[in-house]
Amino acid sequence: MKNNFKIADKLRFSGLRPTKQRIQIAEFLFDRKKTFHFTVEELDKLINLKKDEKISLATFYNTVHAFKKAGHLKEILTSNNRSYFDTHTGAH
């Protein structure tokens, strides 16, 4: 439960309202030791596999783009116009 407060504070500090869905997605993305690369569709499948209460694909898209705008994610556009997101926002 302590981690929920940490995630909620991170979201609030960046101007995002910590909704239940945003907290679930943020915990999955940011509560890990290694950087994580993903598409929105992959993230949807990974998170919704484990949940009884499903999060809509539109919510995943909106949340990922809100996290990107807030500086929590980096978007990588491939040559075939596919967007991948990275939890490591610094240079690497």
Residue 23, Ramachandran bin (φ over 0: left; ψ between -120 and 50: alpha; else beta)? alpha
Pick the closest to residue 40 from 1, 78, 90, 75 (CA basis).
Answer: 75
Predicted pLDDT at 32? 86
pLDDT at 2 over 80: no
pTM for the structure as a whole: 0.88
Measured between alpha carbons, how far is residue 20 from residues 14, 16, 24, 26 in Å? 16, 12, 6, 10
32-78 confidence digits (pLDDT tens)? 888 889 999 999 999 999 778 899 999 999 999 999 999 999 999 99
Higher pLDDT, 91 or 58: 58
